[in-house]
Amino acid sequence: MGTILLNDPIANNVEEIAKSLFPKLGISTWQRRESQNFPLGHYFSAELLGFSVKLYSLAEDCVGYPDFRFGLSLQPSYRLANAQIVADGLAELVAGTLASQKMDVATSVLDPTSNGLVVKRIKVE
């Protein structure tokens, strides 16, 4: 699963950022889904290039990501041999697109040398 961490200075909640973020990615339809697995009990779901996209609020006490308020996960909608590599690559492309639109973004990707997650802030000059 590719993960993007983000902030939007204009959005006060996940509903507002969904209305702003999804159109920037060319996504015209999305749905609110209920799940107790997410901090506020819900998230927003959409599809992008064969990937399931989930937009959610991060917990206020989210360890490791104190600078970010929202998360966006990308997971293949189909079985794929190199799913993690492809998801991380798409996350980098999406993060670059959002950074070019002046959003504060970072990716959380699997480091193949340590098998741990690495957070990398994305800046576009």
Share of the chain above pLDDT 90, in %: 25
Residue 55 has pLDDT above 60, yes or no: yes
Give pTM, 2 decimals. 0.79
Q: Which residues, at least 6 apart from 14, have a Cβ–Cβ distance to it below 8 Å? A: 40, 42, 43, 44, 55, 56, 57, 70
- Asked if residue 47 has pLDDT above 80, the reply is yes
22: number of Cβ within 10 Å: 19
Of 40, 17, 13, nearest to 98 by C-alpha is 17
Q: In the predicted model, is pLDDT for residue 59 greater than 90?
A: no
What is the per-residue pLDDT for 88? 77
Phi, psi of 97 (to 5 degrees): -60, -45
Residue 53 contacts residue 72 (beta carbons within 8 Å): yes
